Amino acid sequence: MSSGTSPSPALARQTVPALGVGLLYNPSLPEYLRTRPETFDYVEVIPEMFWTDRGHGTEPRFVELEGWVAMLDDIATRCPVVAHNIGLSLGSAAGFDDDYPAHIEEWNRRYRFAWHSDHLSFVRVQTSEGHDHNAALAVPVPYDREVLDLVAERIVAVQRVVSTPFLLENSVSFVDVPEQELTEPEFLNAVAQRTGCSLLLDVHNVYVNARNHGFDALAFVGALDLDYVGEIHIAGGSELGGMYTDSHAGPCPEPVWELLEWVVPRAPNLGGITFEFHDSYYPRLKEDGIAAELARARAAWNRRPAG
């Protein structure tokens, strides 16, 4: 690791179970999950889709959506479930939500998540009046040592509360932030080594950034410590205003497959490859399209290193 960050005692690396190939749940999938169980090994869910968060100080704060939760209960009886959170906001400069990990742990006890994850970004910022302002999208943090300290501290706090391994996902950024102290791979490696968390390597996110900012995606993944990669996300995207976005628009583009096929044999602790698509693109994929993406992901999964 060449980040030059201040020394800090590294925690033991959390290991994730080897599950195989999975799908990120969306509302178009219940029929597919019932009829094509042979094509996937686990289902990943965004827990925030299953509840309404009424914010700090409300009682009850998290109100579950009954129909959705009934669906999740049913899925959890049939296959392993993995949680992919969007609400920890690990990069927020102020106002880390201490109640949030406790609620994730409550759900973990119910569904026995094989692991859970969130993003290297922030979605909330505290206003000068002390309110939370939702950014409405995941905003990348600058890769500075100060932010590394902040994110690592929060991940350790999450790990203390949530009793299943935590994975940190690399971000999409549509802008180049100058004068950063670390590269994103250096930052991710340092967080993983410091906290023992695994990485959720979204190879489509890497492709998005490489395409928009003109860098070599393979060099990016090659700079990561792949021993820490516990999960890989694959997805498709689309153009918006001259930029390529991570819109999860149907099938994965060929460069994403190439990245996946390069990484998997070099990631000895990989637990799963998850295909993500937005439900509005179901008509483009249909059942056979989803099955084809999962089959190709499984072929890559089968190339993971022995042992």
Partner 1 sequence: MTLLAYQRALIDLISSPAFCLAVRADPEALSGYDLSSRERRRLMAVVAQPGMSTSCTLYRLNRITPIARYLPLTTFLLGDALVSEAERFWTEGLPVDLQFGPETERFGRFLDRRVADGELSDPYLAEIVRLELAVNRVRVAGPGEPLLETVFFRHDPLPLLDALADGRRPDPPPLEGRYALVVDARDGELALREPG
Q: In whole angstroms, how close is the CB of 16 to partner 1 at the nearest point?
A: 25
Q: In whole angstroms, how close is the CB of 173 to partner 1 at the nearest point?
A: 7
d(CA 4, CA 182): 9
Q: In whole angstroms, how close is the CB of 50 to partner 1 at the nearest point?
A: 10
Decide if 79 contacts 111 (C-beta within 8 A).
Answer: no
Q: Which is nearer to partner 1, 19 or 152 (CB)?
A: 152
Q: In whole angstroms, how close is the CB of 139 to partner 1 at the nearest point?
A: 6
Q: Which is nearer to partner 1, 60 or 307 (CB)?
A: 60
Q: Which is nearer to partner 1, 170 or 269 (CB)?
A: 170
Q: Which is nearer to partner 1, 56 or 160 (CB)?
A: 56
Q: In whole angstroms, how close is the CB of 33 to partner 1 at the nearest point?
A: 22
d(CA 47, CA 188): 24
Token code pair at residue 270 = 């990989």
Q: Which is nearer to partner 1, 79 or 243 (CB)?
A: 243
| Closest by CA position to 304, among listed 252, 226, 235 | 226
| Closest by CA position to 166, among listed 121, 111, 110, 101 | 101
d(CA 24, CA 275): 6
Decide if 277 contacts 250 (C-beta within 8 A).
Answer: yes
Q: In whole angstroms, how close is the CB of 180 to partner 1 at the nearest point?
A: 9
Q: For CA atoms 93, 97, 102, 103, give the dihedral sign.
A: negative
d(CA 76, CA 108): 11
Burial status of residue 137 (CB atoms within 10 A of its CB: 0-12, 13-18, 19 or more): exposed
Q: Which is nearer to partner 1, 54 or 112 (CB)?
A: 54
Q: Which residues bind partner 1 (CB under 8 A)?
A: 48, 51-55, 60, 63, 65-66, 86-87, 92-94, 122-123, 125-128, 131-137, 139, 142, 146-147, 150, 173-179, 212, 240-243, 245
Token code pair at residue 118 = 């969130």
Beta carbons within 8 Å of 281's beta carbon, 6+ residues apart: 236, 248, 249, 250
Q: Which is nearer to partner 1, 1 or 65 (CB)?
A: 65
Q: In whole angstroms, how close is the CB of 177 to partner 1 at the nearest point?
A: 5
